[in-house]
Structure 1
Amino acid sequence: MARRGGSWLYALTWWVGVAGVVGFLALIGWGLSGEDGLQTGANLAQLVGVVLVVPTLLVPLWLWWRRSSARPGVTSEQVSHAKDVLAGLVEQQWKTEARMRSLDDPDPIAVIWQQTAAVAVMDHPANFTPGVGRLTASSDDIADLTGKFRSMHRRRLVILGAAGTGKTTLAVQLVRELLATRAENPSEPVPVLMPVASWDTAAFPHLHQWLGFRLDQDYPALRAPDLPAGMAEALADRGHILPVLDGLDELPPARQQAVIVALNRSLADADQLIVTSRTAEFSRAVDGAGDVLTSALVIEPQPVTPTTAAAYLERCLPPESPAGWEQTLSVLRTAPSTTAGRDPGATLAAVAGTALGLWLLRVVYIDGRADPAPLLNPGRFSGPDQLRGHLFDQLIPTLITTRPPSTDPADPFRPRRRHDPGQARRWLAYLARTMTHPPYGSPPTRDFAWWRLAQTTDSITTTTRLVVGLVVGLVVGLAVGLAVGLAVGLVAGLAVGLAAGLAVGLSSGVGSWPSEEPGFANLRLQGRGSLLARRLAFGLVVGLMFGLVVGLATGLATVLAFGLAVGLATGLAVGLAVGLVEWAEVPATTEHATAPMASWRADRALNLMRTTTFGLAVGLAFGLAVGLTVGLAAGLAGGIAGGLAVGLAFGLTIGDHCAWLAYLVATYRLARAGHLPRTLMPFLDDAHRLGLLRAVGPIYQFRHAEFQDHLAADPPPR
């Protein structure tokens, strides 16, 4: 999860204060140890006193910044406004994703859902539908199901089903319909779909804690300065969110049981809930937890009948059906109910009996304009599994062939680049294998988060860390050594520079950057001028304190005047850069919901901005300080070189969000090995546009879990 921007700044301020105290004491001790110890110590004490006066005078400015940045408590009007903002973001998010998944083209598949007959997985009917008979609904009449859901005593629903039966699709339909009709009762909670696999019940024992954390990451508009602090947490705690938890079956068995227990402990009387899971996994989870989900109605799908499947495929065909389809649909309508004897009609009906199978048949044979005759060939497919595998094999080349690249932003179904089908399959198969069989014995996952690429693929090893640290350390050490050497001598300068480079290199190599969460950057200035002024003011306070400490430490090692000049100039420059970066990390209420590409671009923008800002600020300040000490021409050249090196290293490795750096290192190594493309995120964006992947917030998933399993079974290339 992404941490709130600024926590690293407060940590930096704390350590600067500690370092300052230690440095001052060491400085006075050094003075007392000399021949004129008392006199030197007295002079240094006076200097320290003067230096301490400056931060003291700046404390009121810091307090003013804190007061001006503080936001009042949450009011009911603000809650209502935040709900409207969130509802608009979720509605737009799933409207776009529904178009990408072709859910309404031409209409949703008519899957019949009924209340389960398995009494062991469901609470007593009187606890959720008093006086109401068994529920039956169809996914092509989502308004009817939504009305029945709203009429429940406690609005809690569990959607079960086998693989490919349309559980997630039904959940998305419910979210969209609940939002579309929310205007009738704005007090209703806002439905938000989230992959339940990201819920760690050990870190977040209560559902509302995790909900607030996820809302804070996935919907940055809730962190806008015109909303009270902690709005995401407030919405979750006060019951204004209807959590739609997708994919309980994707968790390991022990965590599935923990989720069942945590849900029952978290839900109050009026709390609403929707959960999706495969039937067998949910049954085992309930049995292991020793309890069902309290007051939750459980529904399961009925197989799509051959008549319904034929009618759907016929609606997807052109008005004048291509050759072969009339016979294919006729065989499908009259297919026997068993696949014994390898009857092609029965095999076709078994595959078309699920929403996934119907979608595959439509994409490969209708959208791909393929001859359907092989579907009726008695010797072609030995059963439903073989036919389904054939459809999965044809999915990638069909989608790439039928959807050529386009740069038109109004066409979301077309990729932005042309891809080779074989190469695309190898790349996607590698991702599928690493997600299904992750390193270090981690559990399999259906979620691909780009910032976890290094951990998922084990591409940043200890050796990689050491190499990165060594490179950064050498660059910083040589550059700083050259700059300092111009002032105090080359040998001393190189000694100081290499020591500084070693420290920076070690911090870069052993830091947490390979496991950082993505950040956020909003570079729009309109309406954010006062916020920028407050952030810059606080940055100057921190920068001046930092500069004094660095100046005294550098002066103790070299020349005091030189050290103070370097420290103050560098500190002020760093302070301005800190304030600018802090300002950029504050979102606005107009921000869209976080999508994978948007998350990657925002973190890239933040890292590039931080690196460039720190590099230029420190480089120019360091160059000016050295230039005034040893001569403008030579000093500027050496100082800017050293400052740029330090600033770039600082910008890349210091801060809350260095996910883009880890992504760069991981994709470089994986591309060299031929596993993934160098431009991974643009490729995944194209795969999403093609319909091979789906997006849930900032996370990618394969279009269907069975598609991931099919690709994961591909043998690794030799």
Structure 2
Amino acid sequence: MRGRGGLWRGVVMAAGLVVVAGLLVWMFAAWRAKGLQTSVNVAALIAVLLAVPTLVVGLVSWWWRQRGPSPVTDADTLAAAKDALAVMVAAQWREEARIRELDDPAPIPIQWELTSDPRIMDHPAHITAAAVLTWTGTGDQISEMAGRFRTLRRRRLVIVGGPGSGKTTLAVQLVRELLDHPNPDDPVPVLVSIADWDTERFPRLQGWLAARLTETYPSLRAPQYGTDAPVQLVQRAHVLPVLDGLDEIPAQARTNVIAALNRSLADHDQLILTSRTREYTDATLARDVVTSAAVIQPQPLTADTAADHLDSCLPPIPPPGWADTLHQIRTGGAPHLTSFVSNPLGLWLLRTTHITTRIDPTPLTDPTRYPTPQHLQAHLFDQLIPALIHTRPPSTDPADLFRLRHRHDPDHATRWLGYLAHLLDTVPTRDLAWWRLAATSHTPISRLARLAFGIATGIAFGCTFEIVFGLISGIVFGLVSAIGIGIGAHEWAQETPGYARLEITGRKGLLVRRLAAGLAAGFAAGPWAVLAFGLSAWVETPAATGRANTPVATWRADRALHLLRACTFGLAGGLTFGLWFRPEFGFEHLGGFAGGLGAGVAAGLTLGLASGKHHAWLAYLIATCWLARQHRLPRSLMAFLDDAHRLGLLRTVGPVYQFRHAEFHDHLAATYLSPQDH
């Protein structure tokens, strides 16, 4: 049956192509035999013959899709989507773990135990089937931790702890372990930042999680997986949500999230949640605990454990000063330093600023210079950016994940990151989304867009025609463009990125189908429809295989979508205007074909950039130019952020950046000085 269906599709396709070819021959023959006017009349008739059936089919298809609920994805298709999601998540966090150096040389052996506060955890009988609820484990034995998670009655876990205590690191470790060693029918663990969950817009976890899957893993929208694979995966409990950063949202939002979680979670729904201890305690006391969830917290690293980990990071023959420093840590001879490295953040800072750079750590043991762990932390935060930049010179080798792609001045990098931290605090949020830069920085997008497009369009039209008409047309079309752009530009800063994939491999058939659909409309709307609508529909259709969205990937995709629209509209507009501005139509005084081509390209480029529903890249482009002129950010912001991520200063959670540690974010924001203050 499948082979017969393919045969019939081939026959129908061939017949359609024969009909289209015949119509084109008819139009060409009419032009050769009876002139251009007759050919135009024939083309109009052909447009009607093709446009009416196309419109009818489109309307019937729309009505059929809207007449009932969305079709349910069959089991095999959903299983394929689940497998694709698991592959994408595993690749995503494998690379992120390498950049964060979570396994170099080995995970920090943080001891995790059940919370000692009974107020923030549900009744033990709701959590485990065993007579007594117990939990012990260390970060360097993650397989045992994953095994304990699987023994929980409903597999729900809340990870709490102080600042920099390794909560997110443990969540990432669990995601990787559960993916690397899955049990049959296990859901796919997906780590997402909880920062943008609006419980008024998404009162249930499932709706918000499906939206995040669609945004972060666009391949799930490929036709091969049905019309609503993200929704079906979530609704059928094939996804284990790992929600990071409950403490990073406002207090009222935290209580709303806990209430929404308890409303959303059914009997077998699983969950992992991270939060600072104080914020989670306040939220549960104000609302309720997370139903059936075990709550674990880290124990401070002992002096011997911290010293042993630092020793394992040193070369076999340590540089001068380290033997005495490790002795001071073990014996408590420098209490402020021993307390500082009892926290994983302290260990990472000391390793990055002194072991990698081979700087003598002896001054850090002096209590008169650094009387408290807080003084020591502030000092090492100040040294962090210069240390990373100086020890990792630029490289163009794609295999060097930890090396910069561009050279940066440490002072400039510190100021730029400080401005971003300060900017995020005004929202407030921990998520650095490039498409929100224009709105967050209050860049006057509409005014700047009107100015840029008005001048560009005016110059293009003015240079196309003769002096007098060119001057007049330049002024007129420049004003028209400025007014038209200004009407919609004020919304660009609120728009989200679009999706575009330009790879042809494995997508040739889809390209042909999209262009064929555009061709049917093209007879009625001209070559605009063939290029603009056919190609745009093709690039915006996800492929079944892909990777998780990252900030750079979403930025490049939205840029590609903008440039494709501009080029196709510009080319089609140029050809259309050029053909119509022929002398036989009475336009010889406007420059003929050349004049029409220039005017059409100018109009098409403007329309291509301004049309559509995604303008995030344009808003970003205007905002970065504006902020670079004020010396607040670099002109090539995404390249700089990518380098900051490679250095380990930033981390990625889907399509957004975050500072690797919230404490580093807070330090940069608190010490930021605007360019006017320098």
Shorter-chain TM-score range? 0.7 to 0.9
**Aligned partners of 1:629 and 1:635 also within 8 Å:** no
Alpha-carbon spacing, 1:494–1:428, altered in 2? closer, same or farther (3 Å): closer
- Give the 3-state SS of the residue equivalent to 1:85 in structure 2: helix
The counterpart of 2:586, out of the listed 611, 630, 638, is 630
**Cα-to-partner distance string for 1:154-179 (whole Å, 9 max, x where unaligned):** 10000000100000000000000000
Which residue of structure 1 aligns with residue 663 of structure 2?
Answer: 706
**Aligned partners of 1:482 and 1:493 also within 8 Å:** no
The amino acid of 2:511's aligned partner reads L
The amino acid of 1:422's aligned partner reads D
**Aligned partners of 1:172 and 1:193 also within 8 Å:** yes
Which residue of structure 1 aligns with residue 20 of structure 2?
Answer: none
Which residue of structure 1 aligns with residue 447 of structure 2?
Answer: 466
Counting only pairs closer than 5 Å after superposition, residues 205-604 of structure 1 correspond to structure 2 as 205-289=203-287, 291-335=288-332, 345-436=334-425, 438=426, 442=427, 444-458=428-442, 460-461=443-444, 464-473=445-454, 475-476=456-457, 497=477, 500-501=480-481, 504-510=484-490, 512-545=491-524, 547=525, 571-604=526-559
Measure the CA separation in 1 of the matches of 2:538 and 2:161.
Answer: 47
The amino acid of 1:333's aligned partner reads R
Measure the CA separation in 2 of the matches of 1:509 and 1:314.
Answer: 57
The structural deviation recorded for 1:319 is 0.6
- Give the 3-state SS of the residue equivalent to 1:370 in structure 2: coil
**Aligned partners of 2:446 and 2:486 also within 8 Å:** no
The structural deviation recorded for 1:499 is 7.7
- Give the 3-state SS of the residue equivalent to 1:371 in structure 2: coil
The amino acid of 1:521's aligned partner reads A
The amino acid of 1:334's aligned partner reads T
The amino acid of 1:658's aligned partner reads H
Measure the CA separation in 1 of the matches of 2:99 and 2:366.
Answer: 33
Measure the CA separation in 1 of the matches of 2:521 and 2:343.
Answer: 61
**Aligned partners of 1:623 and 1:635 also within 8 Å:** yes
Which residue of structure 2 aligns with residue 672 of structure 1?
Answer: 629
The structural deviation recorded for 1:607 is 1.0
Measure the CA separation in 1 of the matches of 2:541 and 2:149.
Answer: 38
Alpha-carbon spacing, 1:597–1:479, altered in 2? closer, same or farther (3 Å): closer
Asked if 1:716 is matched to 2:671, the reply is no
The structural deviation recorded for 1:56 is 2.1
- Give the 3-state SS of the residue equivalent to 1:274 in structure 2: strand
The amino acid of 1:321's aligned partner reads P
State TM-score, norm by structure 2. 0.87
- Give the 3-state SS of the residue equivalent to 1:713 in structure 2: helix
Alpha-carbon spacing, 1:50–1:393, altered in 2? closer, same or farther (3 Å): closer
**Cα-to-partner distance string for 1:373-422 (whole Å, 9 max, x where unaligned):** 10222321111100011111111111111111111111101111111111
**Aligned partners of 1:65 and 1:534 also within 8 Å:** no
**Aligned partners of 2:462 and 2:474 also within 8 Å:** yes
Which residue of structure 2 aligns with residue 617 of structure 1?
Answer: 572
**Aligned partners of 1:481 and 1:496 also within 8 Å:** no
Which residue of structure 2 aligns with residue 568 of structure 1?
Answer: none
Alpha-carbon spacing, 1:417–1:467, altered in 2? closer, same or farther (3 Å): closer
**Aligned partners of 2:334 and 2:366 also within 8 Å:** no
The amino acid of 2:509's aligned partner reads S
**Aligned partners of 2:50 and 2:520 also within 8 Å:** no
In the alignment, structure 2 segments of 5+ residues that lack a partner are 1-43
State TM-score, norm by structure 1. 0.83
- Give the 3-state SS of the residue equivalent to 2:226 in structure 1: coil
**Cα-to-partner distance string for 1:220-262 (whole Å, 9 max, x where unaligned):** 1101121111101110111100000000000011111110010
Which residue of structure 2 aligns with residue 29 of structure 1?
Answer: none
The structural deviation recorded for 1:657 is 1.5
The structural deviation recorded for 1:60 is 5.1
Name the stretch that deviates more: 125-134 or 270-279.
125-134
The structural deviation recorded for 1:62 is 4.1
Measure the CA separation in 2 of the matches of 1:238 and 1:673.
Answer: 50
Which residue of structure 1 aligns with residue 190 of structure 2?
Answer: 192
**Aligned partners of 1:519 and 1:602 also within 8 Å:** yes
Measure the CA separation in 1 of the matches of 2:64 and 2:125.
Answer: 53
The amino acid of 1:117's aligned partner reads S
The structural deviation recorded for 1:483 is 8.1
Measure the CA separation in 1 of the matches of 2:113 and 2:510.
Answer: 54
**Aligned partners of 2:450 and 2:483 also within 8 Å:** no
The structural deviation recorded for 1:535 is 2.0
**Cα-to-partner distance string for 1:584-613 (whole Å, 9 max, x where unaligned):** 011112211111111111111111111111
Counting only pairs closer than 5 Å after superposition, residues 687-706 of structure 1 correspond to structure 2 as 687-706=644-663
How many residue pairs match? The answer is: 627
RMSD between aligned residues: 2.8
- Give the 3-state SS of the residue equivalent to 2:581 in structure 1: helix
**Cα-to-partner distance string for 1:650-678 (whole Å, 9 max, x where unaligned):** 11121122111111100001111111100
The amino acid of 2:54's aligned partner reads L
The structural deviation recorded for 1:506 is 3.5
The structural deviation recorded for 1:322 is 1.6
Counting only pairs closer than 5 Å after superposition, residues 85-104 of structure 1 correspond to structure 2 as 85-104=84-103
**Aligned partners of 1:155 and 1:273 also within 8 Å:** yes
Alpha-carbon spacing, 1:50–1:685, altered in 2? closer, same or farther (3 Å): closer
Which residue of structure 2 aligns with residue 13 of structure 1?
Answer: none
Measure the CA separation in 1 of the matches of 2:480 and 2:405.
Answer: 45
Measure the CA separation in 2 of the matches of 1:98 and 1:80.
Answer: 27
Alpha-carbon spacing, 1:201–1:350, altered in 2? closer, same or farther (3 Å): same
Measure the CA separation in 2 of the matches of 1:308 and 1:269.
Answer: 40
Measure the CA separation in 1 of the matches of 2:86 and 2:489.
Answer: 43
Alpha-carbon spacing, 1:609–1:333, altered in 2? closer, same or farther (3 Å): same
The structural deviation recorded for 1:509 is 3.7
- Give the 3-state SS of the residue equivalent to 1:694 in structure 2: strand
Alpha-carbon spacing, 1:54–1:498, altered in 2? closer, same or farther (3 Å): farther
Alpha-carbon spacing, 1:509–1:95, altered in 2? closer, same or farther (3 Å): closer
The amino acid of 2:378's aligned partner reads G
- Give the 3-state SS of the residue equivalent to 1:299 in structure 2: strand
Which residue of structure 2 aligns with residue 566 of structure 1?
Answer: none
Measure the CA separation in 1 of the matches of 2:381 and 2:540.
Answer: 42
Alpha-carbon spacing, 1:496–1:716, altered in 2? closer, same or farther (3 Å): closer
Alpha-carbon spacing, 1:314–1:261, altered in 2? closer, same or farther (3 Å): same
**Aligned partners of 1:521 and 1:586 also within 8 Å:** yes
Measure the CA separation in 2 of the matches of 1:279 and 1:707.
Answer: 19
- Give the 3-state SS of the residue equivalent to 2:201 in structure 1: coil
The structural deviation recorded for 1:215 is 0.4
Measure the CA separation in 2 of the matches of 1:318 and 1:149.
Answer: 36
Measure the CA separation in 1 of the matches of 2:451 and 2:634.
Answer: 26
Counting aligned pairs with the same residue, the percent is 50
Which residue of structure 2 aligns with residue 78 of structure 1?
Answer: 77
Alpha-carbon spacing, 1:538–1:504, altered in 2? closer, same or farther (3 Å): farther
Alpha-carbon spacing, 1:494–1:363, altered in 2? closer, same or farther (3 Å): closer
Alpha-carbon spacing, 1:262–1:485, altered in 2? closer, same or farther (3 Å): farther
Measure the CA separation in 2 of the matches of 1:495 and 1:110.
Answer: 70
Name the stretch that deviates more: 71-80 or 388-397.
71-80
Which residue of structure 2 aligns with residue 59 of structure 1?
Answer: 55
Alpha-carbon spacing, 1:477–1:325, altered in 2? closer, same or farther (3 Å): closer
